[in-house]
Structure 1
Amino acid sequence: MNHVLQEGIQPEVRTANDYALVAITKHGVALARRLQGLFQSSDLYYMKKFEKGDEQEKNIQMFEGSVRLLLPSLFKNYKGIVLVISLGAVVRMIAPLLKDKKTDPGIVVLDDKGQFAISVLSGHLGGANELTKEIAASIGAEPVITTASDVQKTIPVDLFGKRFGWVWDSAEKLTPVSASVVNEEHVAVIQESGEKGWWEHDRPLPANIRPYPSIAEALQHQPDAALVITHRHLKEEEKRILDNGVLYRPKVIILGMGCNRGTAAEEIQSVIQETLDELNLSVKSVKGIATIDLKKDEEGLLETVEKNNWSFVCYTPDELNAVEISDPSETVHKYTGAYGVSEPAARLASGASSLELVKKKSGNVTISVAVIPYQ
């Protein structure tokens, strides 16, 4: 049963994340749903009359009546609130709720078309300015920040890489690492994979934030905190970097896959997890599955990508045959028209010249693993 916040009461919302997205119009709901898919750690709320039927599955909460009744609970439970509502209406609704800039959540307003992201409240201490920039970058909006000076001239640790889809392994050290960044302590950044364009400002990195080519070298310089971006599990001797560090998982792993018709999603997912464990890679860094177009309707594969919010890319036999592979199979060609599926699909989708795993057959599943090159 869908959870609906009833009219006439001030409901206690079910919070699972740090940020709330709220919409009250048809176009606003479409924008908010899109943003939820891009923005980690957000809960979505919108009016019940715009129900799509998948709200329970996506953990979306709906409400009836005035959004004004929802705001007191949101203020108490979230560090940031993004409202796809007109600026004037938001100002009137939040005015009675304001208490202190040290405790009020960051408030960001978006217009229905997603043209502008406006930092409204708690721009500095509440993080609304950085939240505005991250949201604007995610949806291609223009960030509007009106504070005289932007004191957050550094990395927002809890939002770092969010617009690329990076996720963190654990939120345990977010607060102390953020404190090290803000207090201009020595912060190491070690990036092994993922997008390079995370520093979006037209000024150099702050002097206290220092990139290192490896965890080993960073440890030699004894940083006060660390930001580590990698798709692999750390070795035992490297884990000291996380004593006061946050580990980010970029979406860089491509799984080339083939399977027998009717293979259960449970078997596919078990092979994926087992394979990644063998390779010492994190499932949180999986970007998607690549396969042959004959499998575009394979229920086990479709269920797997939907469950994990992964991409799903299908190639024709001719596209797969254009890729040089290590072990062409006449048997596979007889049934599919391609001399291989998992290996060439992984190469095509990742652009990688070498694979972490060329090919493994396990039960009804064949899997290859590639990592998108970090250049």
Structure 2
Amino acid sequence: MSRAYLAFTEKGMALAHRLARALPGSVSRCGAGGVRLAEWTSTQFAQADALIFVGAVGIAVRAMAPLLEHKSTDAPVLVISPDGRFVISLLAGHWGGGNSLCRHVAALLDAVPVITTATDCGERPALDLFLRTAGLRILDWDQLPPAQACWLEGRPLPLWDPCGAVADGEGGAFLRQEDLPEQEGPALCVHWQRLPARQGRLRVALPSLVLGLGCRKGIPAPLVATAVEGLLLRHGLEPQALAALATVTEKAQEPALQELSRRLGLPLLTFDAAELAAVTTPHPSTAAGERFGCTPFSVCEAACLLAARQLGTTGATTPGDEGTLPVSQGRLKDGPLAGTGNGQQADGTGAPVARLLVEKAKVAGQLTLAVALSDRGLRRNDD
């Protein structure tokens, strides 16, 4: 985590350097020949993971105000009083981790943490923080306040979670639903499918999909981006439910795949050809086998299956250790998926299970795509 400290006095600089020894980061001084406040704030807000001012709250507020965009993307900001007695969580307390950082810094300084978010002042955890801790991604930030209010007031929050991704919250309760809630009022809906938006419905993506890619050298990045967007849309898959991209090792540095990884903020996982060739898939390619000197295999299908199984929540796996993976046959055609069952294909090992959701799709003779589902999206809550 990168941190940026800004002080305004010699005493503040000493405090910032003291903190930087425990929590490494850049230390700057404003004034006295140092940095300019607006320029420093603009640069660090875009680059650093957290900003820590040692000075007055008002200075920090005025500096930050023009830069604020959304709580889901803003960096956490702390303000430490010049005497080091108080540490104030000013911005991105929940989703950005500012409140947690505030407590940590206060403990290092033997100071008082000042946290004003409602959930931290009461006995219940913040709903958005609870969801983030569960590894989920909020889609409808405008629907969070009514759900948060329901949560804070102790009223059971309707929850549609067919994959069993959400446990009952600490200090909070859910009213679990068998069907997608259609009633008025707040409801929490968790899945990897693309769900319709509606008033009161807080849609949350379950990151459990892996996109496998095979491509020709020098493929244009816009072609890849457009093809991926279209594939997900056609099959009713939520883009924010993607957990990773996957391909063969030889394509790790392909510019178009690197650009897609960067744009989506997802890791690009790679596997050796021999590992991919060991995976049974519906559409193995003789050409791929000949190129890499092994049995025919499908780069996109095998890569997404291996990555999905590696990302399975019942236990981490190492590529190359798994041999043949169980594959659910049958091409996805029109519309979103219906139920997926419990996903427990019988391999007898208890290892994470991967299911192929979208079989190999060919694009313009230059690209192949496939989508697999990790066991996190297959398992269901049996309670």
Give yes or no for contact 1:82–1:110 (8 Å, CA) kept in 2: no
- The 5 Å alignment of 1:11-22 reads none
Deviations 1:69-93 (A, max 9, x none): 5534479779899567989965347
Deviation at 1:161, TM superposition (A): 1.8
Q: In structure 2, the residue corresponding to 1:232 is in which secondary structure?
A: coil
Deviations 1:87-111 (A, max 9, x none): 996534759x9xxxxxxx9685254
Q: Write the distance in 1 (CA, Å) between the matches of 2:190 and 2:248.
A: 31
Which residue of structure 2 lines up, in the alignment, with residue 151 of structure 1?
122
Which residue of structure 2 lines up, in the alignment, with residue 356 of structure 1?
357
Which residue of structure 2 lines up, in the alignment, with residue 325 of structure 1?
281
* Cα separation, partners in 2 of 1:119 and 1:107, compared to 1, 3 Å: farther
Give yes or no for contact 1:290–1:346 (8 Å, CA) kept in 2: yes
Indicate which of 231, 234, 239 corresponds to 2:195.
234
Indicate which of 340, 345, 357 corresponds to 2:298.
340
Deviations 1:10-55 (A, max 9, x none): xxxxxxxxxxxxx973763569xxxxxxxxxxxxxxx98xxxxxx9
* Cα separation, partners in 2 of 1:122 and 1:372, compared to 1, 3 Å: same
Q: Write the distance in 2 (CA, Å) between the matches of 1:84 and 1:370.
A: 41
Which residue of structure 1 lines up, in the alignment, with residue 12 of structure 2?
none
Residue ranges of structure 1 left out of the alignment (5+ in a row): 9-22, 32-46, 49-54, 98-104, 130-149
Q: Write the distance in 2 (CA, Å) between the matches of 1:119 and 1:332.
A: 62
Root mean square deviation of aligned Cα: 4.5
Q: In structure 1, the residue corresponding to 2:193 is in which secondary structure?
A: coil
* Cα separation, partners in 2 of 1:328 and 1:298, compared to 1, 3 Å: same
Which residue of structure 1 lines up, in the alignment, with residue 186 of structure 2?
225
Which residue of structure 1 lines up, in the alignment, with residue 343 of structure 2?
none
Indicate which of 20, 27, 32 corresponds to 1:25.
20
Normalized against structure 1, the TM-score is what? 0.64
Indicate which of 228, 248, 253 corresponds to 1:272.
228
Q: Write the distance in 1 (CA, Å) between the matches of 2:44 and 2:217.
A: 26
Q: Write the distance in 1 (CA, Å) between the matches of 2:169 and 2:248.
A: 37
| Partner amino acid, structure 1, of 2:177 | Y
| Partner amino acid, structure 2, of 1:151 | G
Q: In structure 2, the residue corresponding to 1:324 is in which secondary structure?
A: coil
Q: Write the distance in 2 (CA, Å) between the matches of 1:321 and 1:29.
A: 45
Q: Write the distance in 1 (CA, Å) between the matches of 2:44 and 2:362.
A: 32
Q: Write the distance in 2 (CA, Å) between the matches of 1:332 and 1:244.
A: 49
Which residue of structure 2 lines up, in the alignment, with residue 138 of structure 1?
none
Give yes or no for contact 2:300–2:368 (8 Å, CA) kept in 1: yes
- The 5 Å alignment of 1:206-217 reads 206=173, 209-215=174-180
Residue ranges of structure 2 left out of the alignment (5+ in a row): 9-17, 27-33, 36-41, 91-97, 310-352
